[in-house]
Amino acid sequence: MPSSIAPQLATLVSTPPTGTGWAFEIKFDGYRILAKCGGGRAQLFTRNANDWTSKMQSLASEVAALPVDTAWLDGEIVVLDERGLPNFNALQNAFDGKRTEHIDYFVFDVLYLNGRDLRRLPFSARRPLLEELFAGHDAGHVRLSKVFEADGQSVFESARKLGLEGIIAKHRDAPYSSLRTKTWLKIKHQLRQEFVIGGFTTRTNGPREIGSLLLGVYDHAGKLHSAGSVGTGWDSKTAAAILRELEKIEIPKPPFDPEHAPTKGRWSRRAAGGERWVKPTAVAEVSFAEWTPDGSIRHATFEGLRRDKPASAIRRESALAGRKAPALRGS
């Protein structure tokens, strides 16, 4: 059995692919987790191979109870709200408060099973094996992610009506590849991605709370570009907690590349001089309406801090046009 497996990543596209060669799933609003099972125990790894088993002991015990001798599983951990929908902020709060017993693990792929490496098999062959594994065991906090047989556009519209982030399209004939591919596609209802936190301001009437986060993305040369700011999406408790966390990594000068930083006073709506800077190591997930021509985001809303992704990997996401979605055999 492989000692480690890197996850397959999806390419962002603007519209769902068409044709019979695709399977569609919900895009979960959580953290990617790969589970390694063997010897009556399970280990839970983030997409960057960090072992989070100790953070989710009860969930690891449930995964270990699955009827397998050895296995590698791929899925997403989430916290469901009162409507049964994933809530990203609640997931973050579960880790911050060390109350992870309510985290659910939706498994959507099996990569290794009882001595057999399945990664070279097409998705259409791996999926029945996963369903067989979960037959009679889809209960508790370890659950099977559903595949929808309808056309992609219908699934996408249904997800939108439910208030979900989007959908994932997987080509049925494709093997599992530990890199970003065009055989897995993600389609979102609104612009949303991770940003590096390069600085912050405090509230005018609440100096012990965050007023705004000053955001950036790296280019492929490793230069941090300013991407604007976000000043909504948190309550007072969260704003105070973020401030305490960022003060620990505060630095005297902006971490943004000088050639890709806005002019003084345009970091936020606050007057110039109120900005404070931090080491570019913290990551925030933000939803927003659009990118401006100068590379800033508009109408942004904070969704939560990301603990599972390194800041150095954060880039601006650009969706391929729907017509450019790959047309593989069967589609």
* pLDDT at residue 67, as a whole number: 92
* pLDDT at residue 226, as a whole number: 94
Q: Dihedral (C-alpha) 125, 131, 132, 138: value to the nearest 10 degrees?
A: 160
Q: Give pLDDT tens digits for 106-118.
A: 999 999 999 999 9
Confidence of residue 260 (pLDDT cuts 50, 70, 90): confident
Percent of the chain with pLDDT over 90: 73
Catalytic residue among 27, 36, 170, 188: 27
pLDDT higher than 90, residue 331: no
* pLDDT at residue 156, as a whole number: 95
Specify which residues 73 forms β-bridges with: 35, 110
pLDDT higher than 90, residue 315: yes
**Residue 292, SS3?**
coil
Report residue 57: phi and psi, to 5°: -65, -40
Q: How many CA atoms lie within 13 A of 18 on its CB side?
A: 3
Q: Please give the average per-residue pLDDT across 186-209, as a whole number.
A: 89
* pLDDT at residue 273, as a whole number: 58
| Ranges of H-type helices in the chain | 57-64, 88-96, 123-134, 152-162, 236-247
pLDDT higher than 90, residue 274: no
Q: Could you tell me if 183 and 169 are in contact, meaning their C-beta atoms sit under 8 angstroms apart?
A: no
Task: Mark whether 27 is an active-site residue.
Answer: yes
CA distance 107 to 126: 12
CA distance 153 to 155: 5
Average pLDDT of the residues of the chain: 90
> Could you tell me the domains of the chain?
9-188 (3.30.470.30), 191-313 (2.40.50.140)
Q: Please give the average per-residue pLDDT across 208-217, as a whole number.
A: 94
Percent of the chain with pLDDT over 70: 92
Confidence of residue 245 (pLDDT cuts 50, 70, 90): very high
Reference 314, options 185, 217, 239, 225; nearest CA is 217
Q: Give pLDDT tens digits for 25-55.
A: 999 989 999 999 998 999 999 999 999 999 9
Q: Give pLDDT tens digits for 161-187.
A: 998 989 999 999 999 999 999 999 999
Q: Give pLDDT tens digits for 119-170.
A: 999 999 999 999 999 997 766 899 999 999 889 999 999 999 998 989 999 9
Reference 317, options 56, 9, 1, 11; nearest CA is 11
Q: Please give the average per-residue pLDDT across 70-74, as a whole number.
A: 97
Confidence of residue 265 (pLDDT cuts 50, 70, 90): very low
Confidence of residue 206 (pLDDT cuts 50, 70, 90): low
